[in-house]
Structure 1
Amino acid sequence: MSYEAFRHFADSWGLLGLVIFFVAAVGWTFRPGAKRTHETLRHLPLRDED
């Protein structure tokens, strides 16, 4: 694959793929069912395991 072909792919479909991945990751993080998981992880550093 030449540099120009790779550059064209990255400028079009590669960018679109990364944007879709980013939107999906943000959507997955802020979904309504994730509140319990975030509450558990929020207290994880302060949990006393002794």
Structure 2
Amino acid sequence: METALYDTLRHFADTWGLIYMFAIFLAVAIFLLRPGAREHAAHAAMIPLRDNEPAREDDRP
């Protein structure tokens, strides 16, 4: 009986799981390639470099 359940779940993952993962891939690709994404990515890439304030004494471990 366990073999039938395994075969059923594997068949489900092989078909609908693949379609689901491909849909997520397409959504991410479209999100990254949309107009205006370059400015957003450049802004996000500069976030770690904008820390102009020195660390306070009470913030140090």
TM over 0.5: yes
Query: 1:26, CA displacement in angstroms?
Result: 1.4
Tell me: higher relative CO, structure 1 or 2? Use CA pairs within 8 A at least 6 residues apart: 2
Structure 2: runs of 5 or more not aligned: 54-61
- Stretches of structure 1 that go unaligned for 5 or more consecutive residues are none
Letter in 1 for 2:25: F
- Tell me which structure has the larger Cα radius of gyration: 2
Q: Does structure 1 residue 49 correspond to structure 2 residue 52?
A: yes
Q: Which amino acid in structure 1 is aligned with residue 41 of structure 2?
A: H
Give the aligned CA root-mean-square deviation in angstroms. 1.7
Match of 1:9? 12
Give the 4+ runs in structure 1 shifted more than 6 A. Answer: none
**2:42 paired residue among 36, 39, 42:** 39
The TM-score, its normalising length taken from structure 1, stands at 0.80
Corresponding residue pairs, total = 50
